[in-house]
Structure 1
Amino acid sequence: MSRKIAFIGLGIMGKPMAVNLVRAGHHVTGYNLTREPIDALVAAGGHGAGSIAEAVADAEVVITMVPADPQVEQAILGEDGVLAHARPGTLVIDMSSITPQTSIRVDAAAKAAGLRSLDAPVSGGEAGAVEAVLSIMVGGADADFAEAKPLFDALGTTVVHVGPAGAGQTVKAANQLIVAVNIQVLAEAVVFLENAGVDLAAALDVLGGGLAGSTVLNRKKGNMLAREFAPGFRIDLHHKDMGIVTDAARAVGAALPLGAVAAQLVASARANGDGSLDHSALLRGVERLSGREVKQTG
């Protein structure tokens, strides 16, 4: 069934997601702070809006995909945000990666305004968004999840309802913890293998076929082999996510010894000017620690 969807935030992830919803037969109206991605959505068969108010005016479902908590608060809770302009009964789905506390606050504000909400962060990076193979972890009411499931199926291949409001963000925090540690240890293995004089491409192929294989290895080995770090998911954003998971873990009394080290290494990469690069550029940090010359970025 075709739905009228407003999509707020057409960045690296949001634009291909909105396009995939158009391809699935939905009426999608997009809004972004810059015009170029709106024009790209229109070229793909979608529609553009000049404001959040215009985008959500006739929407049955509103999806937000923005960088962090402040942008979610502005886009949804702000004076000119979604809750101020959407019709009662509208389903608001935030697919950004933010703190569970902010998602719970958004859910409460939505209910007070006569709307419904889900938190539905994703994993899979730009490639997963383009290919519509994202993993989507969803928090919120059962009935709202059931209504949104066909939309999620147009965006991903693993769609799971993980609990009440905020639960999706908690699972996403765990996801980002696992990904950061995986990328870091893959980077360390790459430098170790290169220093030992091994054929790196061959080594990564055989490692990928064994117990060391992972989605991280498959997705990121090309970046590391070519030393090409165009952002699929920026270190700046992973730094933000590591702050979320370390704070959330502290709140529930969970120790993250490896996670704490990974968070510091992500922070170090950012401090060394790599924040705008893909998180596979954690390799550059290992090269610095190993005394290698690291090419300047930009």
Structure 2
Amino acid sequence: MTAVAVIGLGIMGGPMAANLGKAGYEVIGVRRSDSVGRAVSRADVILTVLPDSPDVEAVASGDDGIIANAKPGSVWIDSSTIRPDVSVRLAQAAAGKGIRAVDAPVSGGEAGAVDATLSVMVGGSAEDFEAAKPVLDVVGSTVVHVGPPGAGQTVKAANQLIVAGTIELVAESIVFLEAHGVDTDAAVRVLAGGLAGNRILDRKAEGMLAREFQPGFRVDLHHKDLGIVTSAARGAGVAIPLGAAVAQLMGALRQQGHGSLDHSALVLLVEQLSGRAR
């Protein structure tokens, strides 16, 4: 039985760990009070699902960290969403200790984690990807090697850019339709069936119409991710004018105290800017 140490048992990591257990893996769940070093020293595979770059660096480094304690030849899968440059640096440090590291951020939200239908974008060597793939195939339905270390995080940044922009446009469309007194349920159904159809309409529109924002992915985390996007775009000299605008809107929503809500709560900001706040 392959032992998998899962570090980060939150909205995403908890269901991923549960699915690994159902698939027959020996899951070692690592909580805040646990010794990371003791857990990873027993593991064949290490899976980290943490909020931000400093969190991953904290569990990777130091005397009780992954790099100092994982077995040579073990596989470290980082499914956190962090800065690409941090992923590259940590992968190099891990390789120096004989640890096979891949960055494998995921998309699909809590529902995808529960249903094991996540989309997983993986950066690392081809050999390390193949070593990690059996575990990733348990938690995701689309697992794709996208390039060398850090490439997975770069693709995830693009994913978060698209998702944020789409949520904003759906939010604007909902407020627009409501202002004209249209049957919004009917409108969403017909929009979802045409060229405007997208996953946000399918998964988020119902909650947006009802103004119910139980978090599948929190505003706080998407705000962090858009910071990664804007920084990486600046570093590459790429203009993202719409993305930068949505990043500002997400930040404003967070500053208004809505950081714990689902990111679809952008509709609250749109209706406020439109003078239609409830």
TM-score range, shorter chain: over 0.9
Distance in 1, Cα, partners of 2:262 & 2:38? 33
Distance in 2, Cα, partners of 1:183 & 1:259? 12
Q: Tell me the percent identity.
A: 59
Partner residue in 1 for 2:6: 7
Partner residue in 1 for 2:158: 174
Q: How far is the alpha carbon of 1:78 from its aligned partner?
A: 3.2
- 8 Å Cα contact 2:268-2:277 kept in structure 1: no
Correspondence 1:33-48 to 2 at 5 A = 33=32
Partner residue in 2 for 1:27: 26
Gaps of 5+ in 2: none
Q: How far is the alpha carbon of 1:292 from its aligned partner?
A: 2.1
Q: How far is the alpha carbon of 1:278 from its aligned partner?
A: 0.5
Partner residue in 1 for 2:275: 291
2:204 corresponds to which of 220, 236, 239: 220
Where has structure 1 moved over 6 Å in runs of 4 or more? none
1:266 corresponds to which of 247, 250, 271: 250
Partner residue in 2 for 1:245: 229
1:266-287 per-position Cα deviation (integer Å, ceiling 9, x unaligned): 0110111111110000011001
1:44-97 per-position Cα deviation (integer Å, ceiling 9, x unaligned): xxxxxx321232121111000000001000011233211121111111110000
1:119 corresponds to which of 89, 99, 103: 103
1:279 corresponds to which of 263, 267, 271: 263
1:82 corresponds to which of 36, 60, 66: 66
Q: How far is the alpha carbon of 1:293 from its aligned partner?
A: 2.8
TM-score if structure 2 supplies the norm length?
A: 0.98
**Aligned partner letter, 2:11:** I
Partner residue in 2 for 1:18: 17
1:59 correspondence with 2:43: yes
**Aligned partner letter, 2:29:** G
Distance in 2, Cα, partners of 1:221 & 1:148? 35
Residues paired across the two proteins, number: 278
Q: How far is the alpha carbon of 1:159 from its aligned partner?
A: 0.7
Distance in 1, Cα, partners of 2:38 & 2:256? 41
Q: How far is the alpha carbon of 1:178 from its aligned partner?
A: 0.2
**Aligned partner letter, 2:4:** I
Q: How far is the alpha carbon of 1:226 from its aligned partner?
A: 1.8
TM-score if structure 1 supplies the norm length?
A: 0.91
1:147-205 per-position Cα deviation (integer Å, ceiling 9, x unaligned): 11111111111110000000000000000000000000000000000111011111101
**Aligned partner letter, 2:222:** H
Q: How far is the alpha carbon of 1:146 from its aligned partner?
A: 0.8
1:181-235 per-position Cα deviation (integer Å, ceiling 9, x unaligned): 0000000000000111011111101100100000111111121122111111111
**Aligned partner letter, 1:257:** P
Distance in 2, Cα, partners of 1:293 & 1:26? 49
Relative to structure 1, is the Cα distance of residues 115 and 182 closer, same or farther in structure 2, using a 3 angstrom cutoff? same
1:120-170 per-position Cα deviation (integer Å, ceiling 9, x unaligned): 000000011011110000000101111111111111111100000000000
